[in-house]
Amino acid sequence: MISAIAGQAISLPFSLLVFDETKSALLSAIMFISSVLPNFILPLFIAPLIDRGNKKKIIVTLDYLTGVLYLLVAAVYYRTGFNYQLLIVFSFVAGVIGSIYQLAYSAWYPDLIPAGFEQQGFAVSSSIYPTVIMIVSPIAAWLYEIQLPVYYLLVAIALLTLTAATFELFIRNLGFKKAEKTTNLREYVADCKAGFVFLRQEKGLRNIYSYMAITGGVSMGVGLMVQAYFQTVSFLTVAMLGFLRSAETLGRMLGGLVQYKFNIKPEKRYGITKFVYFSYGILDIVLLYTPYPFMVVNRFLCGVLGMTSYTLREASVQSYLPRDMRARVNAIFSVITSLALVVFQLGTGYVGDMFGFRRTAVSFTFLSLAAAIVLIAIPSAVNRKVYEATRVGQGELP
């Protein structure tokens, strides 16, 4: 929760700051892209080391390193003021750290969940960020509007991150057993290839990952269009944008609570997921063409739906993946997702500057709906197998 507070406290002000200073959706997109560039190739090379290594030690070390990085950037920002190039470099370095961190987290966290409680475990973890965002987003937007110096925020976030790392020291290192070290380059290359070999045999996983890459890129692009729209029309404000995000996160909180309290049978996951994907797309299409109160309701419903699909998918996919393959397969997914994010951020930024933010959001959302039909709805047999996966032991298939 502390780490989530730190991340959200800076993400919205940074995004608003870059757009206000540059007046360009494309430059804002490039700023975001710099943070995901490390995901293009780094995960593929680091994943075998994570699968074999002590994931807790990796996570704690990276959090301490992140805290120090924020302090350094705060010191530089204090002396130079707004510097687009500095923020690009900072985002890139933070992206390198985040890329490694996310792989270690996604490979370790499932081992902390008792077998049979996957849905509840992922409902809890995925509810943390919505809860924090609902509270922090309006505060962060308000701090930006009163022109609180950014370096104050950076120092506060550094202290929060260092505190989070200290708490992580007390987590029991479940699921860790010392693995044999990779002794030569040939073994290391074989480890790198293992994820691709596994996915080659798993069409259902490929479909799900491909769809998530497309819809994730579209979602980020639509988010950029929504932000730009709120910052350019006279009847909307940044504070209203913050409240809109709070409404979505409130929906995510409710969705997480429902997922925690009511266990959905594995055989029903696939049908519910398809319903969510198509409903979410329709809500995205009409979002910017409705009055503001309806926008709030729209985002609330999307929050509920998004949390539902995320929890069911993670509970299914992470149960389906063998423990010793999680980091490598997730690394491939990370690379694909990052490529899609860059393509769609550049695409929506470029098209949005030319043809308007509302029409761009609608056009790209239709692409997401087409992907849901081709990749999720039509190949039902292979996809259903993944969504109905359960564990009978720690991280293994029955």
Q: What are the mean pLDDT values of the chain's consecutive 10-residue runs (398 residues total)?
A: 75 74 76 77 79 82 90 86 82 86 82 78 77 74 75 86 89 63 65 80 91 91 89 84 83 84 85 93 93 94 89 84 78 82 85 89 93 93 88 44
**What CA–CA distance (Å, rounded) separates 17 from 92?**
17
DSSP per-residue codes, 300-322: HHHHHHHHHHHHHHHHHHHHHS-
Which sign, positive or negative, has the C-alpha torsion 98, 132, 301, 234? negative
Residue 174, in any domain of the structure: no
**What CA–CA distance (Å, rounded) separates 305 from 341?**
21
Q: So what's the pLDDT on residue 398?
A: 35
Q: So what's the pLDDT on residue 396?
A: 41
Residue 360, in any domain of the structure: yes
Kindly report the CATH number assigned to the domain that includes residue 154: 1.20.1250.20
Number of structural domains the chain divides into: 1
Q: So what's the pLDDT on residue 285?
A: 94
**What CA–CA distance (Å, rounded) separates 339 from 336?**
5
Residue 177, in any domain of the structure: no
Full domain range(s) for residue 80: 2-169+193-387
Residue 109, in any domain of the structure: yes
Q: So what's the pLDDT on residue 280?
A: 92
Residue 176, in any domain of the structure: no
Burial of 319 (0-12, 13-18, 19+ CB in 10 A): buried
The pTM for the full model equals 0.70
Residue 180, in any domain of the structure: no
Residue 250, in any domain of the structure: yes
Residue 185, in any domain of the structure: no
Q: So what's the pLDDT on residue 176?
A: 56
**What CA–CA distance (Å, rounded) separates 145 from 86?**
22
